[in-house]
């Protein structure tokens, strides 16, 4: 599932959104259950943003410690909007470890309103669509698919940044390949093709049986601006990529969205 941006833009009538990162799932469940809404988020971000500014940014690490103890969804949102580059990264003990973005005045009124408007928009979508959020691995999710389903699979990019939550290595990529080869469903796998320095060797090996589309995308993650370069993305699929079209928001079929972090 990741950030949920694919599902929330396509907006199928029905969807299973799964991720092995419990914090992402818990955040969306909190919006769906009305535990988090526009007003609650606004008051929270105003309060925590004021403390962030007064402490010249040190409050960020207080919230990070608090989140790593209790896992509150609003602390997760605060950290993601105030950390370096908006990254989501956890250490091997499950602790969020991204540093502060060094902007104590991060939560200006206009920015808080923007975030809260996004929460309101998500809440409106979840009110009229039938979505289920589950914390589980990709094997469980893919095994539940039928020949009437579409799976969108967005794992960490093998050989690149794979420490979002619980890591991703060659064994995971091979296991994913086996599951998708055996599924009755149609699937779309998001991965990387190449950049100026190297290529994704798995596209020419284990994924070579499937067609794929490519699109250039600017990569925004990097400690220095010089390290943020364009990358060619790839969408691997088991149906004819030439005729791949966006799924209609009115489609009645079950759509599965899977983030395998």
Among residues 102, 127, 152, the one where a domain terminates is 127
pLDDT at position 221 is: 55
CB atoms within 10 A of CB 125: 17
pLDDT at position 222 is: 54
Quote the tokens at residue 208. 């070579």
Shared domain check, 172 and 205: yes
Shared domain check, 11 and 54: no
Among residues 107, 127, 147, the one where a domain terminates is 127
Q: Which domain holds residue 149?
A: 5-20+136-259
pLDDT at position 231 is: 84
Shared domain check, 166 and 104: no
Shared domain check, 12 and 53: no
pLDDT tens, position by position, 51-74: 999 999 999 999 999 999 999 999
Shared domain check, 226 and 148: yes
pLDDT at position 16 is: 96
pLDDT tens, position by position, 25-44: 999 999 999 999 999 999 99
CATH value at residue 47:
1.10.1020.10
pLDDT at position 225 is: 56
Question: What is the pTM assigned to this prediction?
Answer: 0.85
Instruction: Kindly report each contact of residues 92-96 with a partner whose C-beta sits within 8 Å and lies 24 or more positions away, as own/partner.
Output: 92/167, 94/68, 94/165, 94/166, 95/68, 96/23, 96/64, 96/67, 96/68
Ranges of the chain with pLDDT below 50: 241, 243-261
Q: What is the 3-state secondary structure (H, E, C) of 138-200?
A: HHHHHHCCCCCCEEEECCCCCCCCCCCCCCCCHHHHHHHHHHHHHCCCEEEEEEEEECCCCEC
Gap between the Cα atoms of 146 and 57, Å rounded = 49
pLDDT at position 74 is: 98
Shared domain check, 85 and 209: no
Gap between the Cα atoms of 80 and 78, Å rounded = 6
Shared domain check, 105 and 169: no
pLDDT at position 254 is: 35
pLDDT at position 245 is: 47
* Percentages (nearest 5) of helix, strand, coil residues in the chain: 40, 20, 40
How many domains in the chain?
2
């Amino acid at each position: 599932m990741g950030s949920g941006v694919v599902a929330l833009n396509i907006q199928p009538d029905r969807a299973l959104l799964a991720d092995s990162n419990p914090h992402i799932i818990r955040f969306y469940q909190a919006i769906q259950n009305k535990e988090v809404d526009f007003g609650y988020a606004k008051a929270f971000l105003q309060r925590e943003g004021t403390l962030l500014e007064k402490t010249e940014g040190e409050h960020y690490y207080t919230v990070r410690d608090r989140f790593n103890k209790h896992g509150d969804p609003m602390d997760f949102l605060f950290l993601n909007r105030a950390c370096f580059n908006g990254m989501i990264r956890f250490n091997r003990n499950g602790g969020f470890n991204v540093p502060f973005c060094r902007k104590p005045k991060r939560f200006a009124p206009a920015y808080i309103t923007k975030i809260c408007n996004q929460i309101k928009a998500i809440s409106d979508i979840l009110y009229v669509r039938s979505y289920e959020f589950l914390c589980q691995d990709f094997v469980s999710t893919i095994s539940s698919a039928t020949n009437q389903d579409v799976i969108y699979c967005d794992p960490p990019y093998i050989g690149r940044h794979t420490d979002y939550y619980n890591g991703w290595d060659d064994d995971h990529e091979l296991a994913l390949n086996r599951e998708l080869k055996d599924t009755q469903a149609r699937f779309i796998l998001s991965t990387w093709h190449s950049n100026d320095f190297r290529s994704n060797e798995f596209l020419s090996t284990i994924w070579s049986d499937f067609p794929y589309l490519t699109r250039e995308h600017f990569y925004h993650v990097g400690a220095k601006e010089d390290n943020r370069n364009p990358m060619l993305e790839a969408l691997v699929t088991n149906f004819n990529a030439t005729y791949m079209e966006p799924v209609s928001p009115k489609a009645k079929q079950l759509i599965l969205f899977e983030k395998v972090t």
